[in-house]
Amino acid sequence: MPSHETPPDRDQIAELAVDLTADDDGEDMPRDPENEIRSLVAAYANAMRAQDAHAVIAFYDPALVRFDIAAPLVTTGRDALDEAGLDEWFAGWTGPFAFDTRDLTVHAAGKIAFCHALIRFTGTRQDADHALWARWTLGLRRQGGQWRITHEHCSAAIDPETGAAQMSLD
C-alpha cells in the first residue's frame, strides 16, 4: 500500500495478524512460504503505518534477537518486545507516518526463512520532516503453523570518511 493511502484501522490489522499467524487447519495443502512471508511483511508494514504497537509486536517470536539502528545495539526476548517503548516512539511522530519497503527478497525452505529489504520511515518528528532509509533483514521460523520473526537487523549505511549515518538513497 503506498504511504499516501489511509492505513487500515487497528481492528483490520489485528485480524490480518491473526490470519497470518493462525495454526494450520490440519489439511495437507501445499503452502507457498514466499508469499506467506510477503503477506506477513505487508501486514507488518500496515501495522507500522497505523502506529499500532500491539499489532507490530504480534509478529515477533518471544525469543526474538534484535539488532536495531538505535541503541541499544542488541536486545533479546522480553526486552526486544517492548510494546510500551514502541508506543512511545510512535507518539513522537506527528501527522501522517509512512513505513515503506523496497526490493523485498524472500528465501524460505521448510520452517526457516529470511528476507531483506530497504525500509523507509517518513513523517514529522520534533517539528522536522524526516525521510529515513535503512537496511532491514528478518529471520523467521515457522512453528505450530505460524511464521514469527525470530531475528531482526535494522541498520544504516555510514559515510566511511565522516562516520556519519547515511539515511537517504542519494
Most confident range, picked from 7-21, 66-80, 100-114: 100-114
**Position 29 pLDDT exceeds 70:** no
pTM (2 d.p.):
0.80
Q: Any idea how long the chain is?
A: 170
* Helical segments of the chain, H only: 10-21, 33-49, 53-57, 77-80, 83-91
**Position 68 pLDDT exceeds 50:** yes
Q: What confidence tens digit (pLDDT) does each residue in 122-139 have?
A: 999 888 998 999 999 999
Q: Which fold has domain 10-166?
A: Nuclear Transport Factor 2; Chain: A, (3.10.450)
Cis preceding linkage at 33, omega within 30 = no
- Measured between alpha carbons, how far is residue 3 from residues 16, 120, 122 in Å? 18, 10, 9
Look at residue 60 in the predicted model and tell me its pLDDT. Answer: 97
Q: How many CA atoms lie within 13 A of 80 on its CB side?
A: 21
d(CA 110, CA 97): 35
Task: With cut-offs at 50, 70 and 90, classify the pLDDT of residue 10.
Answer: low
Domain edges within the chain:
10-166
d(CA 87, CA 164): 27
Contact by Cβ (8 Å): 83, 53: yes
